[in-house]
Structure 1
Amino acid sequence: MIDLTRLYGAYATRLFADLGAEVIRVEPPGGGSDRRLPPATAGALAAGQGGVPFAFLALNKKSVVVDLTTPAGRDILKALVATAAVVVVEPEAEDGLLADILAVPGVRVVTVITPFGLTGPYAGFAASDLVVQALGGIVWLSGEPGKPPLKIAGEQSLFVASLYAAAATAIALWDAETRGAGHVVDVSAQECIAHSLQNAVQVFDLEGRVSTRGGEGTRDATESAFACQDGWVFLAAPLALQASWSGLLAWMKEEGFDGHAALTSAPWQDRPRRTTAAMKAEFKVLIERFLADKTKARCAAEALKRKIVMAPVASIADLGADPQLLFRRFFQTVAMPGIGSEVTIPGAPYRLSEPVWAIDRPAPRLGEHDAEVLGRMNQGHPGRADPAGRASA
C-alpha cells in the first residue's frame, strides 16, 4: 500500500498497517506536514521523527523520501505505484498527482480522500475539521438548545473519513482480487460526516422534520449530565423508562432525601411539562444536591443495582482504570522514540478470530526505509504481505 495521506486518510492506512499490510509513506524532503502537528518537540522533529499525532497515526508504517516536484521523483512514484495493490492519496498536495497515479498500468484500488469529493461545486475547496463537521451537519446536532452549535473534539472528521475510506477500500480490494478489476474510490469527508449523523437522516425521512440540538427541544428533564462529588454522571429517567424513574425515586427515599416529595408530586407525572425549561431547572437543582456527596463509582454501582439508566462521564484519565477496558487488555504499551521510551496507547478497535493485529514498529523516522524499499523496487522485488497477515520483505 502506498500512503500519500496527511490528514483525512492517515488512520485508514494505519488500520491496514496494523493488519500486516506493508504501508509505505511517500514523503517530501523535510517530511510530510503531518509530522509537525502539535504537540511536537523540537528534538523529535530534528531527529526526523514527529509529534504525538504522527507517532500514533504512523505506527507500523514505512517512510521513503521522494521529491514529487521533480520529473525523477514522479517516475519513482509511478514505479512504487506499479508494485502496489492499493494507493491512498490526498491529491491536493501536488498538481497532477492523481492523474499520474491513475495512468500507471495494472489492477489496483486507488482511494482518494478529500474534504468534499472529486466532483461538485465544493470540489477542490480547502477545509478544516471544523468546516467539514459544520458542512457535514454534526455541528448542528451538537450542543444545547438555544446555544451555539459545537464542534466535536478530537478531529473527528479526519477519523470518520478514515473509517469510511478503510471499509470502502477493503471491499474494493476484495473485488479487485476476486474479479481482477481495479477501482477508484472517491471519499468525501463531508459525506462521511453526513452519513453518520446519529438518526437524523431517518428522522427526516420518516417524520419529515430536521433534527436539532438537544433532541428537538423535547428531551425529558432527567436526560442530561449532572454533577456529582467527583465529576459527572449521565442520567436518563423519563416516564417512558419507568424502571429507571422508579429506581431513582426509591434510591432518594431510602437516602431520606428531602427533595423526594417534590418529584413524586403531580407535575412530575405530566410528560410534556417535564420537557419545559422550568422543570429542567428544578430537576437539575434537586438531582445535583442529591448527588453532591456521591462519587461516580457509587452512582454506577447504585444504578446497576436499581436498574437506573445512569453512567459515569469518563475523563481521559479515567479510561486507563476502566475495568472493562482493563479486562479486555485494550491498551497497548509501545516504543515511541522522541516522545518517551514507552507510551500506553489504544489497542485494536476490534478482535478477530485469528491474531493478525499487531504493532510491529514505531512510527518511522523520515526516510528510514529508503534503502530497503527503493532498493528492492530497483531489483524488481516489490514485496507483499504474506498470507498470515504480517508484512514480508
Structure 2
Amino acid sequence: MQSVDKGSKIMSFTHRKNAAGPFAGLLVIDLTHVLNGPFGTTILCDLGARVIKVEPPGHGDDTRTYGPYVGEPYVGDQSLYFSFVNRGKESIVLNLKDDADREIFLNMVRKADVLAENFRPGTMARLGFSYEALAQINPRLVYASSSGFGQTGPLSTFPAYDTIVQAMSGILDATGFPDGPPTRVGTSLSDLCGGVFMFCGIASALYARERTGKGAHVDVAMFDATLSFLEHGFMSYVATGHAPARIGNRHPYMAPFDVFAAADKPFVICCGNDHLFELLCTAIGRTELAADPRFVTNTSRVAHEPELKVELESVLKRQTAEHWLEVIHAAGVPVAPLLNVAEAAQLPQTEARNMFIEAGGVRMPGNPVKISGYPDPKVRAGAPALDEHGPALRHEFGVQSALRTGTVR
C-alpha cells in the first residue's frame, strides 16, 4: 500500500496480491479479450504475475456480456465466461485513441515486462503501438500477439473465432462418426490451444531475455496451434496423401481402444499393446480371442476393428459397467467410466489435484501447472469489476508518476 499527497488529499492505491509464484514481480499489460488471450494471461496470473487488464470504454471485454451468469437460470450481473479466464487481474478502462489515456498506457508499457494482445493483425500498428514502436520505449518488453492466423501469410487479417479455426484446420471435419456430419470439438479447443502456446511463447521469451537483456515479439496463431494438435490426422495424410475419415471414438492405430457398451451404460477400454489385449481377453473370459488370427497383433486388430468390437461387446453387454470396471482394472488393463462434466468435477482426484477452486466466490477450474516450492491455493482472487482499479492505476501510471521517475519522453 502506498499513500501519495495530491494537494490536501491523501490518495491510496494498491494492486492485487496474487499467490507467490515463479512469475512474482512480473508486470503484464493484458490487452487480450474474449477467450484465447485471457486464457494464456490467466496462467501467468496464477503463477504470480501482476496482470493489468486494459479494457475499452463501454462494456469492456465482450465476455462481460456473455452468459452463463452467476445464479443461472436467473440472469445475474457476473459473467462466468469472463470470471473463469480473468481471475486475479486488475482492470482499467482506457480509450487508446484518447491522448491522456494513451499517455497512461505508454507509462504502463515503460514499466512492463510483458504486453499481450489478440487483436486482428494491424490493429495495434494503426494505434501506433506496434512491437517496433513499443520496443523503442522499452527494449526489454516481451510483446505477445495471439490471433486467428498469425502476423504473416495470406490469411493473417482474416477474422477468426474458434469455430472458424476448427473448420479450417481440419479438426472439425475429422471429428464425429463415419455416418454423421463433421462435429465441433466439445470445447473451444482452438482458442484454448492458442492461449496455452501464447503462454509458452511468453515464458520462452522471458527466459531468453535473461541471457540477452532484450525482449521479443511472440507471434502465435490459433490456426498453427490447432494444426500442431492434429498429429494423428497429419500422420494419415503423410502416409496416404488423403485426409483421414471420421472414425468416432476409436483410436486410428490401436485396438481395442474405444467406448464399449455394457449392460447399462458405456465405458472405455484402452489396450495399447498385445500384452494388454491378452490380459483383457483373460479378464472377460474370452482367451481364444487373443489367438484369433484376426486379432493376434495390434495391426491385425486395427484392420478387423469392427469384428473385434462385436466380439467384445457380446460379452460386455451381459454385465454392468461397474462390474467390468472392477474386473478389467483388477487385470491391469486401462479402463475408465464415461463421466459427464458434473461427475468429473466431483471426482476425489479432482479434489486431490486442486482442480476445482474458488475465485471471488465462484467455483471454477484450478491451475493445472503445479510447481514445487510454490503454493497452489484453493481460494484465489476473483475477476475484477470493469475499471475496478482504474483510479489507482491512473494514479500509479499517470503523468506525475512518470515525471517523478523521469520516464516521460
Where do 1:231-310 residues align within 5 Å?
A: 231-237=265-271, 241-253=273-285, 260=286, 266=292, 268-269=294-295, 272=300, 275-276=303-304, 279=307, 282-283=310-311, 285-291=313-319, 293-295=320-322, 298-310=323-335
2:223 corresponds to: 190
RCO comparison, higher one (Cα < 8 Å, 6+)? 1
Shift of 1:127: 1.5
**Distance (whole Å) between structure 2 residues aligned to residue 217 and residue 247 of structure 1:** 19
The TM-score normalised by the length of structure 2 is 0.77
Amino acid at match of 1:16: L
**Distance (whole Å) between structure 1 residues aligned to residue 199 and residue 372 of structure 2:** 20
Unaligned runs of 5+ in 2: 1-27, 404-409
2:29 corresponds to: 2
**Distance (whole Å) between structure 2 residues aligned to residue 140 and residue 70 of structure 1:** 45
Shift of 1:23: 0.5
Shift of 1:194: 0.8
**Distance (whole Å) between structure 2 residues aligned to residue 236 and residue 353 of structure 1:** 32
Q: Does 1:134 align with 2:167?
A: yes
Shift of 1:186: 1.1
SS of 2:261's equivalent? strand
Amino acid at match of 2:275: A
SS of 1:380's equivalent? helix
Shift of 1:230: 5.5
Q: State the superposition RMSD in angstroms.
A: 3.4
- The one-character-per-residue Cα deviations of 1:186-239 (angstroms, maximum 9, x if unpaired) are 11110011112234445656x4655623399966773320233554211235xx
**Distance (whole Å) between structure 2 residues aligned to residue 110 and residue 261 of structure 1:** 60
> Of 345, 353, 360, which aligns to 1:320?
345
Shift of 1:304: 2.1
2:9 corresponds to: none
Q: Given the superposition, is the C-alpha separation of residues 301 and 95 from structure 1 closer, same or farther in structure 2, using an over 3 Å criterion?
A: same
Aligned length: 362
> Of 369, 386, 390, which aligns to 1:366?
386
Q: Given the superposition, is the C-alpha separation of residues 2 and 218 from structure 1 closer, same or farther in structure 2, using an over 3 Å criterion?
A: closer
**Distance (whole Å) between structure 2 residues aligned to residue 98 and residue 229 of structure 1:** 62
**Distance (whole Å) between structure 1 residues aligned to residue 302 and residue 190 of structure 2:** 35
- The one-character-per-residue Cα deviations of 1:121-172 (angstroms, maximum 9, x if unpaired) are 1011111211112222322432234543322111111110011000111111
Shift of 1:70: 2.9
Q: Given the superposition, is the C-alpha separation of residues 124 and 287 from structure 1 closer, same or farther in structure 2, using an over 3 Å criterion?
A: farther
Unaligned runs of 5+ in 1: 254-259, 337-342, 383-393
Amino acid at match of 2:368: P
SS of 2:64's equivalent? helix
The TM-score normalised by the length of structure 1 is 0.80
1:109 corresponds to: 142
2:68 corresponds to: 39
- The one-character-per-residue Cα deviations of 1:221-274 (angstroms, maximum 9, x if unpaired) are 73320233554211235xx73333333333333xxxxxx599589575476487
Structure 1 contact 243–308 (Cα < 8 Å) conserved: no
